[in-house]
Amino acid sequence: MPSINSGSVEIHYEDTGGDGRPVVLVHGWPLSGASWSGQVPALTAAGHRVITYDRRGFGQSGKPGADSAYDYDTLTTDLDAVLTELDLHDVSLVGFSMGGGEVARYVGTYGEGRVHSAVLAAAVPPCLLKDDAHPDGALTLDDIAGMQEQLRADPEAFYGAFLTNFFSAGDDLKVTEEQRQEALGLAAQADLHASAECIRSWVSDFTGDLAKVTVPLLVIHGDSDAIVPFEVSGERSAQAVANSELVVVADAPHGLNVSHAAEFNRVLLEFLAH
């Protein structure tokens, strides 16, 4: 299996190859690069070189457990390792959900020298934390601690409920049960410690990172997202970046790249054509 060493952690990746402009897809929690299966063929058919990778602790990547931090500064070193090892330039970075944090932090930390454009899809920036400094946020630290505790106590039950909500708009599941089960299968590959620690990273503050984004930015979000509410994430990210395009997908849940794959791919390809 192809992998790249990031520090002491082996990062599994998939690369379609080719001479087209590269697109790097950064997956959401608690999944893996395989969660982009509805996008890779469409992007490849459009002529792009497509790279997916598994976040440390997830999918087929190394699982360092308690020996690794899972804050965004650490996680973004893995994205940087992929771009550096594969010598990628003029890249479009596409981050879904938690993966949007790596995209924002990459630009904030490493700059835009390798970056052509960026996409935040149902993504956590600019800041989901709700506290005195962020009174309009979505999640308190107590909320985070409660989720971590529930996950550690019964991973199967937690993932089952989470991924149902992940793919639901209101009370309606917007994917097939087979698709939900596929996501559960990906979640089952995650290291439990890594998975729980990443929950704490969801409430990182990316305000400073977004302030450094000058390349074209697409923000795409479902209006029925019950995991990362649009009003505290996508809407604010689009407002924070002057060179941004906002697309809100009607009746779409958090996992809109699966539930609304055709519309998601159309919007993404139109943006990447520039």
Of 97, 168, 204, 224, the active-site residue reads: 97
Task: Report phi then psi at 146, rounded to 5.
Answer: -65, -40
51: exposed, middle or buried (Cβ count in 10 Å: 0-12, 13-18, 19+): buried
Q: Which one of 54, 78, 191, 225 is the catalytic residue?
A: 225
Closest alpha carbon to 149 in 196, 83, 181: 196
Output the CA–CA distances (angstroms, integers) from residue 217 to 167, 195, 245, 247, 271, in the order listed: 25, 28, 6, 11, 9
Which amino acid, one-letter code, is at 58?
F
Residue carrying the six token digits 């407002």: 239
Structure-block tokens of residue 254: 């958090």
Q: How far apart are CA 111 and CA 209, in angstroms?
A: 10
Residue with tokens 């996680």: 75
Give yes or no: 97 in active site: yes
Which residue is associated with the tokens 């990447």? 272
H-run or E-run covering 193? helix 192-201
Q: Please identify which of the residues 27, 48, 254, 260 carries the catalytic annotation.
A: 254
Residue 163 sits at the vertex; the CA angle it makes with 101 and 38, to the nearest 5 degrees, is: 70
The whole-angstrom separation of Cα 257 and Cα 274 is 21
| Residues 180, 167 contacting (CB under 8 angstroms) | yes
Active site residue 8: no
Q: Which residues contact 131 (CB under 8 A, 6 or more apart)?
A: 137, 140, 141
Q: Is there a catalytic annotation at residue 225? A: yes
Active site residues: 97, 225, 254
